[in-house]
Each structure stands twice: as structure tokens, then as C-alpha cells.
């Protein structure tokens, strides 16, 4: 049955009367002029007037049809029913980002919850003849072992995709999606990508999509949150020589994942005890590094963590680290007795108060007899014969 998607536009059909009104207003009465009694001239006049009248009527009809066509085009006429080619099937891939960043809350729902709702709406647009694949940017072992199969829309289960605590590389998932679609001979190919496009998930469509995807319709749905989110991206031990009773420098990198800038509190804990605190203000999309100097009172393995105050995503607010404080500071001095005389004297003086410190002296020719990895500090004093030492090593 015929119908209209925008029936309100049909009121514009009243505009079709405008050419008729203009035609009536432009009509002029003929004035009788006494010119001639010749029959030929009167017939010629009548013929020309009939031709002019027909021309005006045709012009009126054309103007009216133009107005009607414009109004009908805005009313978007449709024909309900089946047309040849309407039953062509579509192959589509729905790519969901289920990485850690999708756990960020946006008011009451997480971005991942919003993405599954959007995917459900997309599934509702397909018919039973279409074939789809649901992919996630972070696939678990069950997804990989089960294999990837084309399914009808009613057989797609969004609960098969679970949110992960891992980061994802959306580029690899995108390449896999394009490969699946390129292997199909369907006339209609579609790819839906639902993500926050942050971190490794950022995809440059113009550069990452191969030219062979020109017959694939790609749709991007970017999900955003107005809530503040900061993450600890790194926690490194900066000090190279660790010794009981000395201070250890620890660097903490904090990144802002929010559009707005704000201050955030960073705390450092060693063995469960807070040993440092600072206030940072990283700008949007950037990171800042804060260094702490922490005194170490014992040897052995020591655990610690850095923690941010609560925000929209708590899972990335804590970062753990471990360090090992050796019981002995093993120093290897390489050189002749003459070269090392004053150096070793100074070292023995500085190390005599440190329990468990060990100093070993060898000549350059004996370097192949020791394992350098067994020492924490290596001192070279071979200035008199560097060429010979380099040749041996």
C-alpha cells in the first residue's frame, strides 16, 4: 500500500494553486478595436490568440506539476510490500570494546553497559536472512576455542561478551573483522565498531583500513563519559643500587583519561604503611611522573603499591611493585694493585660500617674467571692499558 513517511508535508499541496492564481491575475480583457473588415485578418487574429492561449495553459500546467513534485518529494512517498532485491542478505560484524577503560561509569551505567544496549538496537535492524558475527576487542580462551561462525540475528547472544580487566588493541580486532568480511561474497557488508577509542583502542580509520575495504560500510559509535578518571600507568624503582638503611627512589606515572583537568591525590605504601603523599594535576590525555624517596630499614623482598583517590574507574587506581634489598653489597674492583690502592682504601672506609658488604679485587686478565652478574657494583681502574683490556674483552 502507498504511504508517506512525512505526511505533514502534504499540506504544501495548497501551493499548487499559486500558478493558477497568478494566471487569473495576469489575464487581460480584450479591447475591441475597429481595424478592418477583412475576414482573413480576423481569422489570422483568432488563430494567433488560440495559440497564445494554449501556450499559457501549458505553462500553467508545468508550473503546477513542478510545485506538486516538490511537495511530494518532501513527503517521502513509500510503497509497502516486497520489491525485487529487497531480500538480499547482509553480512555484518559488530565489534565491541570490552577492555578495562569501558568499565568507566557514565552516571549509573558503565560504558560497556551502554555499548551492549547500542549493539542490541543494531541487531534489531537486521532480518532473518542476514548473517552476523559478534567480536570483542579482548577475547578470552573460550571465544578463541569456540571459533568464529556466522549466525542469524536471533542467535547472537550479547552476554557472550564479558568486560575484561585487560587493555586491548582495537587495531588487531579491526583487521580481523575486515578479513572476515572480505572473505564473504555478499553484496552488503557492514562493520559496526562500538568503543571509547582511548589508549591502544584509538584507531585511525583512514590509515588502518586497507583499500580492499571500499565495499564495506563502516559505522563508528564513540562512547564518552563526563566523569573524572585517572590511572597509574607505571611504578618503577629508579635507584640502581639498593642497600639496607638507605633511601630508594620510586617513580609513579599518573595519566589523565578525562576531558577536564582536576587535581588528584597520590599515595605511596610500603609493606602496607603509607610513606608518601602528593597532589598532582595532569592535563587531559597526558601523564605526569612523581618521585618518592623512601627509607628502607630491612633487606629481602619488599612489596608496595601506589594508589589514587576514588574516581569513575577504581580498577586502575592502584599499581603494585616489588623490590629486593640484598643482604650484601657486592663490589668488584678490576685493576692492578697500584691502580686500586687509594680507591680500595676509600671503599673499605665507606663500607666498614655496612654489615655484609663485600669487596673483591681482580686483575684485568682475570675478568673471564668471574661472573659479572654476581656483583651489584663494578669498578674499573685500568687507565694505563685500556687498549689491551678492550682487546681481551
Provide the terminal-to-terminal Cα distance of the chain, rounded to the nearest Å: 91
**pLDDT of 43 above 90:** no
How high does pLDDT run on average in the chain? 81
Instruction: Check whether residue 10 and residue 68 sit in a common domain.
Output: yes
Contacts of 361 (CB under 8 A, 6+ apart): 333, 334, 335, 337, 340, 344
- The string of pLDDT tens digits covering residues 53-91 is 888 888 888 988 888 888 888 776 766 655 555 567 899
What angle do helix axes 18-25 and 39-75 make, rounded to 10 degrees? 160
Closest Cα to residue 248, out of 298, 302, 292?
A: 292
Domain membership flag for residue 85? no
Domain membership flag for residue 272? yes
Domain membership flag for residue 319? yes
Domain with residue 317: its CATH number is: 2.60.40.10
Model confidence at 189, pLDDT cuts 50, 70, 90, reads very high
Q: How far apart are CA 136 and CA 328, in angstroms?
A: 50
77 compared with 165, residue with greater pLDDT: 165
pLDDT for the residue 261: 85
Closest Cα to residue 259, out of 295, 312, 300?
A: 312
Instruction: Check whether residue 139 and residue 96 sit in a common domain.
Output: yes
Q: How far apart are CA 342 and CA 363, in angstroms?
A: 16
pLDDT for the residue 236: 92
Is 197 in contact with 165 (CB distance < 8 Å)?
Answer: no
| 197-206, 267-276, 298-307: segment of lowest average pLDDT | 197-206
pLDDT for the residue 145: 40
| 15-29, 115-129, 190-204: segment of lowest average pLDDT | 15-29
**pLDDT of 193 above 60:** yes
Calculate what percentage of the chain has a pLDDT beyond 70: 79
Instruction: Check whether residue 218 and residue 94 sit in a common domain.
Output: yes
pLDDT for the residue 4: 62
Model confidence at 317, pLDDT cuts 50, 70, 90, reads very high
What is the mean pLDDT of the segment spanning 163-174?
83
Domain range for 316 is: 230-325
Domain membership flag for residue 84? no
Model confidence at 141, pLDDT cuts 50, 70, 90, reads very low
Number of domains in the chain: 4
81 DSSP 8-state letter: S
**pLDDT of 278 above 90:** yes
Instruction: Check whether residue 119 and residue 208 sit in a common domain.
Output: yes
Instruction: Check whether residue 198 and residue 277 sit in a common domain.
Output: no
Calculate what percentage of the chain has a pLDDT beyond 90: 28
What is the DSSP track for 222-270? E----S--EEEEEEEE--SS--TTSEEEEEEEEEE-SSS---EEEEEEE
pLDDT for the residue 142: 45
**pLDDT of 23 above 90:** no
- The string of pLDDT tens digits covering residues 362-388 is 888 888 888 888 887 888 876 555 555
pLDDT for the residue 265: 95
Domain membership flag for residue 379? yes
375 compared with 233, residue with greater pLDDT: 233
Instruction: Check whether residue 217 and residue 99 sit in a common domain.
Output: yes
| 104-118, 275-289, 324-338, 375-389: segment of lowest average pLDDT | 375-389
Tell me, yes or no, if the pTM score tops 0.85.
no
Instruction: Check whether residue 243 and residue 278 sit in a common domain.
Output: yes
Amino acid at each position: 500500500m502507498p504511504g508517506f513517511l512525512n505526511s505533514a508535508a502534504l499540506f504544501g499541496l495548497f501551493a499548487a494553486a499559486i500558478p493558477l492564481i497568478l494566471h487569473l491575475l495576469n489575464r487581460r480583457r480584450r479591447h475591441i478595436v475597429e481595424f478592418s473588415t477583412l475576414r482573413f485578418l480576423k481569422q489570422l487574429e483568432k488563430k494567433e490568440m488560440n495559440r497564445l492561449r494554449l501556450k499559457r495553459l501549458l505553462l500553467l500546467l508545468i508550473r503546477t506539476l513542478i510545485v506538486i513534485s516538490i511537495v511530494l518529494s518532501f513527503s517521502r512517498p513509500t510503497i509497502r510490500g516486497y520489491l525485487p532485491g529487497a531480500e538480499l542478505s547482509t553480512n555484518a560484524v559488530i565489534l565491541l570494546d570490552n577492555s578495562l577503560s569501558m568499565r568507566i561509569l557514565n552516571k549509573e551505567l558503565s560504558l560497556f553497559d551502554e555499548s551492549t544496549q547500542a549493539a542490541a538496537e543494531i541487531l534489531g535492524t537486521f532480518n532473518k536472512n542476514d548473517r552476523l558475527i559478534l567480536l570483542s576487542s579482548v577475547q578470552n580462551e573460550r571465544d578463541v576455542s569456540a571459533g568464529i561462525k556466522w549466525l542469524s540475528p536471533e542467535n547472537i547472544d550479547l552476554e557472550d561478551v564479558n568486560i575484561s580487566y585487560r587493555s586491548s588493541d582495537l587495531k588487531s580486532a579491526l583487521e580481523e573483522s575486515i578479513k572476515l568480511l572480505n572473505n564473504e561474497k555478499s553484496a552488503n557488508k557492514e562493520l559496526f565498531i562500538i568503543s571509547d577509542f582511548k589508549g591502544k583502542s584509538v584507531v585511525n580509520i583512514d590509515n588502518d583500513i586497507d583499500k580492499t575495504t571500499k565495499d564495506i560500510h563502516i559505522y563508528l559509535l564513540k562512547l564518552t563519559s563526563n566523569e573524572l578518571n585517572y590511572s597509574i600507568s607505571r611504578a618503577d624503582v629508579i635507584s640502581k643500587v639498593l642497600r639496607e638503611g638507605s633511601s630508594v627512589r620510586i617513580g609513579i606515572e599518573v595519566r589523565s583519561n578525562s576531558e577536564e583537568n582536576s587535581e588528584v591525590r597520590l599515595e605511596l605504601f610500603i609493606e602496607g604503611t603509607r610513606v608518601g603523599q602528593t597532589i598532582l594535576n595532569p592535563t587531559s590525555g597526558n601523564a605526569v611522573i612523581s618521585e618518592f624517596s623512601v627509607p628502607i630499614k630491612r633487606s629481602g623482598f619488599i612489596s608496595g603499591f601506589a594508589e589514587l583517590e576514588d574516581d569513575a574507574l577504581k580498577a586502575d587506581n592502584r599499581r603494585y611493585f616489588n623490590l629486593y634489598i640484598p643482604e650484601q653489597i657486592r663490589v668488584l674492583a678490576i685493576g692492578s694493585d697500584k691502580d686500586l690502592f687509594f680507591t680500595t682504601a676509600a671503599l673499605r672506609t665507606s663500607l666498614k660500617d655496612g654489615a655484609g658488604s663485600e669487596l673483591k679485587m681482580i686483575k684485568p686478565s682475570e675478568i673471564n674467571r668471574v661472573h659479572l652478574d654476581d656483583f651489584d657494583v663494578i669498578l674499573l681502574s685500568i687507565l694505563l692499558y685500556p687498549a689491551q683490556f678492550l682487546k681481551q674483552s
